[in-house]
Amino acid sequence: MTSLLDPMTAADGAEPPARDQRTSRVSLWLMLWRDKLAAFAALTLTIVALIALVGPVFLGDVANDQDLLRAKQPPFSLDDGWLYVLGTDSLGRSMVVQLVLGARTTFSIAVPAVLVALVIGSVVGMWAGYHRGWRETVAMRTADVLLSFPSLLLAVVVLYVFSPSAANIVLVLVITRIPVYLRTARAEAAELQSRTFVDAARTFGAPPTAIIGRHVFPIILPTLLTVATLEFCSVTLAEASLSFLGIGIQPPGVSWGLMVSEGQPYLSTAWWLSMFPGVAIVITTLSATILAAWVRIATDPDQRWRLAVPRRGRRRTPLEVPA
């Protein structure tokens, strides 16, 4: 999945214009607003995150309301109030409530997994790339080994041996995703450490940690954030897959992947049990993918002009933009 969006950066066949002074003054928010698709993706992701954060607080005690008499009520009917607009599951629980709880699970696993892997991977990667030599070799070989082994297989083995708790799922996801950040940070740091400004800092006696922290890290950060956005998508998919296979979140916990799996036996009588959680997963992951494509362009000084120039200008030759 790492190289998922690499090609998106490819030039659209046009050369970037001479450095546009105006560009730097256009704020990121305005740029996001101008790219309607990315803005929509960001908005969707924010809404899902908010629902995950505050939704369960509002729902409180309704969450576990079971009513077997009302099991598998079809969706899109307001007879029982808005809570049941998406129907009920096989135990008569509201699908809306279950989906909200699933959102919380998704975020409470994906966010820590992405952040921990981001921190560990980029620190080790920068360290390896800055120092080069044996440190680089060891780090890269380890990353190669981890990356060339199917992540799900590792998760299956680890979760077989240890109990499949939320913490263990995060652990497995962190281990399998660290190499992605490690490779990115290593490549950029290795390139940066030969630049003049790093040389200058070294000449003035700055210790490696200070150089990495003050001179290398700020330059790599945008790239790492892009990767992290995309990784949010992979991690969400991985958690859903594990839960679907029965080695992730365990009942009575709620996860979108688990919901799809629990709905599978009722596919012919109650399609919504599997379909709605699946749609929730796709909405979340697709938003993250689209947003990552935007972040990648927006944080790249050579590509940013594409977002800063008004649409009409973009259609014509970009070279007409005032320099």
Partner 1 sequence: MFRYVRRRAMTSVLLLLFVLLGVFALARMTGDPTSLYLPESATPAQREAFAEINGFNDPLLVQAYDYIRGFLHLDFGTSLRTGESALTMVLQAFPATLQLAVTTMAIAIFLAIVIGSWAAYRPNSLADRLASVLSMTAASVPDFWLAISGIWIFAIVLGILPTSGTDDGLLSWVLPVATLTIGRLGVLVQVVRGAMISALSAPSVRLARSVGAGNVRVVTHHALRNAAAPTLTVAGDLAVGMINGAVIVESIFGWPGIGKLMIDAVISRDYAVLQAAVLLTAVAIFVLNIVIDICYALLDARVREPAKI
Neighbour-count burial of 204, counting CB atoms closer than 10 A to its CB (0-12 exposed, 13-18 middle, 19+ buried): exposed
Per residue in 147-160, is it b (16+ CB within 10 Å) or e — as a string?
beeebeeebeebbe
Q: How far is the CB of 67 from partner 1 (least distance, A)?
A: 25
Name which of 94 and 289 has its Cβ closer to partner 1: 289
Cβ-based nearer residue to partner 1, 186 or 215: 186
Residues engaged in binding partner 1 (CB under 8 A): 1-13, 132, 136-137, 140-141, 144-145, 147-153, 156-162, 190, 233, 237, 240-241, 244-247, 257, 260-261, 264, 267-268, 271, 274-275, 278, 281-282, 285-286, 288-290, 293
Please name the residue ranges forming H helices in the chain.
21-25, 28-34, 36-59, 95-131, 133-147, 151-161, 166-192, 196-203, 208-211, 217-245, 256-263, 272-298, 305-308, 311-315
Q: Which is nearer to partner 1, 181 or 244 (CB)?
A: 244
- CA 319 – CA 323 distance, rounded (Å): 9
Distance of alpha carbon 201 from alpha carbon 248, whole angstroms: 47
What angle do the packed helices 95-131 and 133-147 form, to 10 degrees? 150
* Minimum CB distance to partner 1 smaller for 114 or for 247: 247
The angle, 0 to 180 degrees and rounded to 10, between the axes of the packed helices 166-192 and 133-147 is 140
CB of 62 to partner 1, least distance (A): 26
Shortest CB 64 distance to partner 1, Å: 25
Q: Please, what is the minimum distance in Å from the beta carbon of residue 105 to partner 1?
A: 15
Shortest distance in whole angstroms from residue 282 CB to partner 1: 5
Compute the least distance from the CB of residue 143 to partner 1, in Å.
10
For residue 85 the two structure tokens come to: 């607009």
Nearer to partner 1, 73 or 243 (CB): 243
241 CB-near residues (< 8 Å, 6+ apart): 152, 248, 257
Nearer to partner 1, 26 or 158 (CB): 158
Q: How far is the CB of 13 from partner 1 (least distance, A)?
A: 5
